Structure 1
């Protein structure tokens, strides 16, 4: 499992570790890891000896890390040049080390980027985890000029200009090909829009683990974590023991939503799927194993979890269906139209678990803020939704987030998916899949995390680099399931 900690927590851990180490030892550990990662990248396109490396150096410790790493590369025969964005505040020991190794040091404001010449690698050490806001204009212009060379960019700890704690990008920021981070991941490396600028992530162990608290701020499940949560039927299981999920979805206008939600549910681990709604004929035509009922949901038969909302519309029947489902004493997943029709006070007063699965626009409506605010600050938005509605919330997007209203519980970040997943109906498949996992016995936080992970993997399998339809994603869920368990 990947874990991420806030800036405050990381700094406290670093202080505790530095108190037990010789002066400068922690920076040397970081620089050694950074230099090794840079050397590996240079070897992929040529070699270290004779390569040309440009360091963008700010006034903080990130600049010191870059300078000491540059000195190590210079001793291996690379031509290293440091451009200092704040010459009077650059790390003195790092500057001296680079010069002693044969590197060149200049003030960034005294260098014409047109005269830099060939560049094989750029190392971004302008700002660190304490940086706030976007890059200043001088640094931003320098970054743009070096990006234009086409040389790969390696960010030190995180790309300069992004917010370490939130993943926000509030102005100009570096877009790195790779980020070498130290001790632990930072939230901004895992959450878009900042994560999109980090490139490939490389974690360097600097001995911080023993100083970090047991509960991180964020966590991202990996294959082994997901495999451990997948429901597997025992020899004595039958369809009812495996769990029954109820699906309330679709309308005369959106019959396909019912088909897609049921398709996801049938592949999510539950033993049976009950469908309630006007799309029964379309559902049975595509999925004859489905149990159908005309409604209301409370009369359809026993279920272990409900999914309500996909394609439901906004008529009186839809309003009644949402209210009926929320009155049930079983876990309920609310998506799409159900999010618009729910009564917030009813959701907050439920004793059984509730899982809300909005995209950014729906989340904005639930919070009463502009969509752009949610998209820019996804971590804050998902936490606020969970707290305000006393529910588990899955905020869909390029990096899907899962939060609960329980204190000291890490937000989960889903690392799977593809941009091709932005297609009509894919959210309906996710709702059915996640609801099925709820019915199979997973807690809402785990069901949401596993559902998002499998959904993203299924999209990768179905897409294979090309366009994909929602039904393709549903059909690929078993392959994703097998992939995780392999």
Structure 2
């Protein structure tokens, strides 16, 4: 998992490490990693010698990192200029930059086209900064925006103006192409809306791992999914591999039932059962002849397109006492006593807002806070769908996935996801694992199906099999023919 820690945790770990290192050694490690990342950018776009880098420097350690990195860049033949946006900046870093041939201006200045930087380094605010930007920083960014060609913008640690611990935004902020962070990820790197301002995130190892506690948020990676995927044993049969039941669709929304079954019938469970509208059941049998009718299950997926039947389907599924995915129409029928840690609730922002009695805009502005609140309030795992999906456990653990393309925002995609998570539950995964693995697989299948272009929900379901094969294939083995 990609681990993200709070500001307090990071500062405590840095203090523990600095107690064992010579003074200034940690900043030198950070500056070296930062300079290397910038050199890689420049090398990839025509070479570093003679290129221009502009530093936007504030008063904290991020400004110091930028100044020391600037000194290293200047010694490699880069023309480095720094704009000092506060009265005080890191003294030793400023001295090092001047000694290496870099220039420091105490305020923003107008730039001629010939002076336009290739890279701008955002060292304005550190991880302890409040959301929003001071006036001097806004003035500097306006001068950069006025250039005829936009330079690449690299954030030191994370874009200035975002909240490190919550991923929230409040006012103007930097939007980076690359964020170079140190030691561990910050929550804002993994959680929207701030994550959308970070661009690509590059982690520089500082040796903090031994001093860091459990993370506040984890980012799901392909290796995590491969390790968690259920695999049949030689002695298994269809029942021991797990049976998932689907109660979804209606005469009004028959496609929801078909798509939920398509997600459940990805092969991860040994059998899929469908219970619902007779006309939908007939269409399911035609599309998926392996799907059978009512009987015992190890997990349910309930709610997608359920319409007037959603409440009855939810009550009947919950009466079985097995792990259950509660989606779409069924979410509206949850009652206070329904909460249990074997449930996975899968709302989008509007549905989560209704569950919590708040406005949708509030959920979208602070998704981490609201998904945690919902998980605690319902005593269940809650998966909040989005560009970066968040999965929260009632104990406060949160996982983030960001494997899907923007094309995944299409009708019916959530129905496929619900069925997929139900299959993972039936196969034996714990609710937190089933939800986070299912979310990552869903996004990866969408990426495969899309290939950079539009998709519909059925494309995602059809791409699941090959996505799973790729993950399950032993490392180094030859790919099967396309």
TM-score category of the 2 structures, normalised to the smaller one = over 0.9
- 1:113–1:142 contact (8 Å) kept in structure 2: no
Q: Which runs of 4+ in 1 moved over 3 A?
A: 113-116
Task: Return 462-471 or 194-203, whichever deviates more.
Answer: 194-203
- 2:58–2:124 contact (8 Å) kept in structure 1: yes
Give a deviation string over 1:19-47, Cα, whole Å, max 9, x none: 22221111111001101111111111122
Aligned to 1:136: 134
Which blocks of at least 5 consecutive residues in structure 2 are unaligned? 474-482
Aligned to 2:479: none
- 1:71–1:103 contact (8 Å) kept in structure 2: yes
Q: CA deviation at 1:221?
A: 2.2
Aligned to 1:389: 378
Distance 2:132 2:38 in 1: 25
Residues 1:431 and 2:418 are matched in the alignment? yes
Aligned to 2:118: 120
Q: CA deviation at 1:195?
A: 1.1
Alignment of 1:462-481 (within 5 A): 462-481=449-468
- 1:430–1:452 contact (8 Å) kept in structure 2: yes
Alignment of 1:225-374 (within 5 A): 225-278=224-277, 279-292=280-293, 300-313=294-307, 315=308, 317-343=309-335, 345-348=336-339, 350=340, 353-374=342-363
SS at match of 1:122: strand
TM-score with structure 1 length normalisation?
0.94
Distance 1:39 1:114 in 2: 24
- 2:188–2:194 contact (8 Å) kept in structure 1: yes
Q: CA deviation at 1:346?
A: 2.5
Distance 1:169 1:216 in 2: 22
Distance 1:60 1:114 in 2: 29
Distance 1:59 1:216 in 2: 28
Which blocks of at least 5 consecutive residues in structure 1 are unaligned? 293-299
Q: CA deviation at 1:115?
A: 7.2
Distance 2:142 2:163 in 1: 19
Aligned to 2:91: 92
Distance 2:444 2:275 in 1: 29
- 2:62–2:157 contact (8 Å) kept in structure 1: yes
Alignment of 1:197-208 (within 5 A): 197-208=197-208
Task: Return 275-284 or 180-189, whichever deviates more.
Answer: 275-284
Alignment of 1:40-79 (within 5 A): 40-79=40-79
Distance 2:164 2:471 in 1: 30
- 1:268–1:434 contact (8 Å) kept in structure 2: no
Question: Aligned match of 1:447 in 434, 456, 462?
Answer: 434
- 2:110–2:143 contact (8 Å) kept in structure 1: no
Q: CA deviation at 1:400?
A: 0.6
Alpha carbons of structure 1 residues 181 and 268: separation in structure 2 relative to 1, 3 Å: farther
Distance 1:171 1:85 in 2: 18
State the superposition RMSD in angstroms. Answer: 1.4
- 1:56–1:125 contact (8 Å) kept in structure 2: yes
Distance 1:144 1:468 in 2: 38
Q: CA deviation at 1:114?
A: 5.0
Q: CA deviation at 1:116?
A: 7.6
Distance 2:251 2:142 in 1: 52
Q: CA deviation at 1:415?
A: 2.8
Residues 1:399 and 2:388 are matched in the alignment? yes
SS at match of 2:155: strand
Residues 1:376 and 2:365 are matched in the alignment? yes
Q: CA deviation at 1:485?
A: 2.1
Alignment of 1:169-248 (within 5 A): 169-213=169-213, 215-248=214-247
Aligned to 1:483: 470
